Structure 1
């Protein structure tokens, strides 16, 4: 049993971690840069960013009460969207938070330079090393440090707002919307990362006491308070607008110097340093839990989930994260990379909103004690708003997010996939929804069909045993729906022979066909008509005849010996095509229906049930899945088969087979059957030569549904993705 983390973070510590993670670079570094993008409307950008973060915060609060585990975003996306997207989110968020923590330290040191002549990078590296040590000692110590830092910082910021508000000039807000909607959205995306800390609570959920109550309150209270604080501080910065504020590295200190006494400047600088240190501290605390959680799920090396016996903290994960942060401070231009962190944070929040929808619509055991209000409209707002922001952030952030995404996917396929057999609830929910739709369509196919008229297409080369099999299948279909059977022999004559001349010639082959067919249909309990059609192109003649006479189904031999290779004439045909490769289908005990992609086509189920019912046989439903599929996959298939069994009129058995080669697995499973029914559109075609020499008498029917009944391209891609 893996060792668990101690629950010792109360509401004050949770609020401190969340507020401390937000009130940092977002207010002390970014406002002057965002002011260049949006002008005075930067105030609106901060407010809009807070609103767009709210759906993800509420979604995370809900999922955190259902899964109070370390890992936060990674846990929710991995459980909801599957291990691949979970890996991408875990690695990406880990880097994003590390970038943000490094940015906070590098951006905080210039505030020290206001008071002291210090080198920026060495001081930032020293502070980072100190925070690594503090985090190694334990979350309780970290939480206490956050409470002290945040309390002092907030007191200073209240003084800043109060002391500077009287210097705000109304003229500074002239041309409020001069930057236009594009500038506001670009600034919103740029400052979006300022609010990312609100959800960091979820990453330490396993260490929160009474998580059902504390986590939702912590997220909502901290987001509301921080949004208000941001708007007030940015309004002061915009309203005072001292010379050189645009693009400044220390905008808050510059405003304080213009509006407050020296003591006030010192206090504000101290608050900035405390806030930025707390941001880095909270970032290190939460980001280190991502490799820790991924390791416990076997998506990262096991050493990352090691918990110190002495300090009860994930020391290896903290150390690795700390080393990454030190490397970023020392070698990477953090201000530019911060845009990448913001872009990926938006993408992750979009996935968070999708994940909560996946959990609610799935059949998994999901019982949160807190439920996001206005579901699912709140989540839809978060998804759409996030995607809009991504389009406004420029090429570099999008490329960077793409690189991290591809890197995460490669890591999953190289390291994680061989070690895990799990699926996300989203895939299961989509798959089960497709199954339910397929069951409904199959039910409709069973009840809506009537007066099925079947055309049996033969040629001069069709043997008596083959024609008997074709007629037997056609009679089973027609008999069930009170339809008729028409047998037509399509004779071919040379191109140079006029058709009106050829039609007058009665050959021995024609007489043999009439005599043979009359003998074969004598025992069929359905109306049967028969005749001949002479043409230069039997396949084209078959299409024209079936279309002109409105046949519902065409039964023919396989393409190797009969006119079927072009019987789907560019999609204009409106009949189902059944090709029968069997010498006899009179004595059947088992009819096997097979597929390896998506649900069974309703037409195929109806055909199989009709033949099995007519011959007193049982029906076997066989699905093939990959060998590494999780157990839930087979369970979902069995549930789908059970739903189909309720529709069928014969006894039904369910089988789920797996293997590296699903085609071979299906062929092996079907080799003991009397008759196999497959489809060529959307799932595997089981070939007779793969059924083995011991089962040469196994018949095979391939069903091609009419174009209007076939799943569209998007639907087929979706089915092949989730099945």
Structure 2
């Protein structure tokens, strides 16, 4: 179970499927991919919600702190991606550095993150779309039924786009991200004309005790904190950090990227920096337009524009929110497809899922499976109550990636790296600390459900993956080399 994947095989042709994916991405494409998943409907709400309930005008500092914490993890991903440009991302990194059992655990966490996220965002997309239709004056009969239909439609449509090929998905992504950024740009520019500097007031509002009981792991050890003031600024940062999560999915496009050793780190870091700047700009406009004490938690930005007499901007926000979540679903499906594709060709899940379509040159079989599971989850499971599980799976992978940079520097210093984390091991250690801080701000029941999911995953590995792994049988691994078997395109 501790057998490790040799570095040369991580991006080699061991299974006949390595590098069978067409190389279509360049730096600008990866930036768009990152912005497609990091900037969703939350950009129009999270700043106002955190300003009203936790940080006041200091929410701008919260965005900066969260951005720095995510940048530390992003730098670690950039080094490992530049060393092992593979579609498996954190799963493959862990396979090479720590061994098969740990790779399975990370892969299982990524399945939770990406599969559940696709269902959660699809359900949220349907709700926001119904609301947007109503805001345009169209009466929606039986909105619950309409939402269910919309969930099915969006997942079928985007699963088809992903299965049809990376180039088609990339073109669609460029169009939608461009339109989304234009909507956000309009919010920033128009909102800036209504900013009243007096609304920033005391940048660090008077601290107040928490009135709503919480049940995070941190609360168990230090007790409930305060809202507003510096306590509120730091309390809002973990929630805001979740908005930036998604840059890691860029790493799953490494095999489909031209010159990935240098392009993937650039695309990943640049997309996170751009997203951070955009979030900070929206936060500044939000708290500048109206006093934080009068911000509506339900629809902060829309209500702010209505308060200053620019209610027509509500439609721009609706369009931006719908497009924002559409691109998030699309990129999540792409990321999940690539991770499961990698696990399948390594034999840890059925290798039939690693078949490359002759017509579309994509792992269409696994794509259809992922889309079907997402539909079932979104339609029949109350996924909107499970959002923290998505975050937990992501942060768990972050910790292994940060630790992987430190261990790989010691064990495999000879490997070619297109990017190196500066000040290592200091920055990877800081990334570990920052990630752990984000994790302890999650609720206790989230940790419990995550532990159950991982325990189930270990049982699946022991019953299937451990025996089916290509590394468990050198004969089967040799039979899967290029030129043999159905996995070759």
Shorter chain as denominator, the TM-score bin is 0.7 to 0.9
Matched residue, 2:160: 133
Of residues 90, 112, 115 in structure 1, which corresponds to 2:133? 115
Q: CA deviation at 1:226?
A: 0.5
Note if 1:95 corresponds to 2:95. no
CA distance in 2 between partners of 1:47 and 1:163 (Å): 23
- The 8 Å contact of residues 44 and 317 in structure 2, kept in 1 or not, is answered as no
Matched residue, 1:176: 205
CA distance in 1 between partners of 2:352 and 2:301 (Å): 43
Q: CA deviation at 1:286?
A: 0.7
Of residues 297, 301, 306 in structure 1, which corresponds to 2:346? 297
More helix per residue: 1 or 2?
2
CA distance in 1 between partners of 2:328 and 2:35 (Å): 9
Of residues 16, 19, 22 in structure 2, which corresponds to 1:2? 16
* Matched residue SS, 2:193: helix
CA distance in 2 between partners of 1:82 and 1:264 (Å): 52
Q: How many residues align?
A: 424
CA distance in 1 between partners of 2:253 and 2:206 (Å): 40
Within 5 Å, give how 1:478-497 maps onto structure 2: none
Within 5 Å, give how 1:42-441 maps onto structure 2: 42-112=59-129, 113-116=131-134, 117-118=139-140, 119=143, 120-169=147-196, 170-171=198-199, 174=202, 175-176=204-205, 178=207, 179=227, 183-241=232-290, 245-248=295-298, 250-259=299-308, 261=310, 263-363=312-412, 366-420=415-469
Post-superposition Cα deviations, 1:213-270, rounded to whole Å, max 9, x if no partner, equal 221111111111101111121232233358985441x444333444464553322221
- The 8 Å contact of residues 189 and 342 in structure 1, kept in 2 or not, is answered as no
Residues 29, 121 of structure 1: alpha-carbon distance in 2 compared, 3 angstrom cutoff: farther
Residues 245, 400 of structure 1: alpha-carbon distance in 2 compared, 3 angstrom cutoff: farther
Residues 74, 203 of structure 1: alpha-carbon distance in 2 compared, 3 angstrom cutoff: same
CA distance in 2 between partners of 1:177 and 1:54 (Å): 30
CA distance in 2 between partners of 1:177 and 1:233 (Å): 23
CA distance in 2 between partners of 1:341 and 1:327 (Å): 17
Residues 22, 399 of structure 1: alpha-carbon distance in 2 compared, 3 angstrom cutoff: same
Residues 247, 402 of structure 1: alpha-carbon distance in 2 compared, 3 angstrom cutoff: farther
Post-superposition Cα deviations, 1:525-573, rounded to whole Å, max 9, x if no partner, equal xxxxxxxxxxxxxxxxxxxxxxxxxxxxxxxxxxxxxxxxxxxxxxxxx
- The 8 Å contact of residues 190 and 393 in structure 1, kept in 2 or not, is answered as no
Q: CA RMSD in A?
A: 2.6
Q: CA deviation at 1:409?
A: 2.1
More strand per residue: 1 or 2?
1
Post-superposition Cα deviations, 1:40-76, rounded to whole Å, max 9, x if no partner, equal 2433333222211112211111111221111212111
Residues 340, 44 of structure 1: alpha-carbon distance in 2 compared, 3 angstrom cutoff: farther
Q: CA deviation at 1:34?
A: 3.9
Post-superposition Cα deviations, 1:447-488, rounded to whole Å, max 9, x if no partner, equal xxxxxxxxxxxxxxxxxxxxxxxxxxxxxxxxxxxxxxxxxx
* Matched residue SS, 1:375: coil
Residues 221, 141 of structure 1: alpha-carbon distance in 2 compared, 3 angstrom cutoff: same
Q: Which moved more, 1:324-333 or 1:143-152?
A: 324-333
Post-superposition Cα deviations, 1:646-703, rounded to whole Å, max 9, x if no partner, equal xxxxxxxxxxxxxxxxxxxxxxxxxxxxxxxxxxxxxxxxxxxxxxxxxxxxxxxxxx
- 4+ aligned runs moved over 6 Å, structure 1: none
CA distance in 1 between partners of 2:302 and 2:381 (Å): 25
Matched residue, 1:605: none
Larger Rg over CA atoms = 1
* Larger RCO, structures 1/2 (Cα 8 Å, 6+ apart): 2
- The 8 Å contact of residues 25 and 194 in structure 1, kept in 2 or not, is answered as no
Residues 173, 115 of structure 1: alpha-carbon distance in 2 compared, 3 angstrom cutoff: farther
Matched residue, 2:39: 23
Q: Any stretches of 5+ residues in structure 2 without a counterpart?
A: 1-14, 208-226, 475-489
Matched residue, 1:606: none
Residues 387, 323 of structure 1: alpha-carbon distance in 2 compared, 3 angstrom cutoff: same
- The 8 Å contact of residues 199 and 289 in structure 2, kept in 1 or not, is answered as no
CA distance in 1 between partners of 2:232 and 2:389 (Å): 18
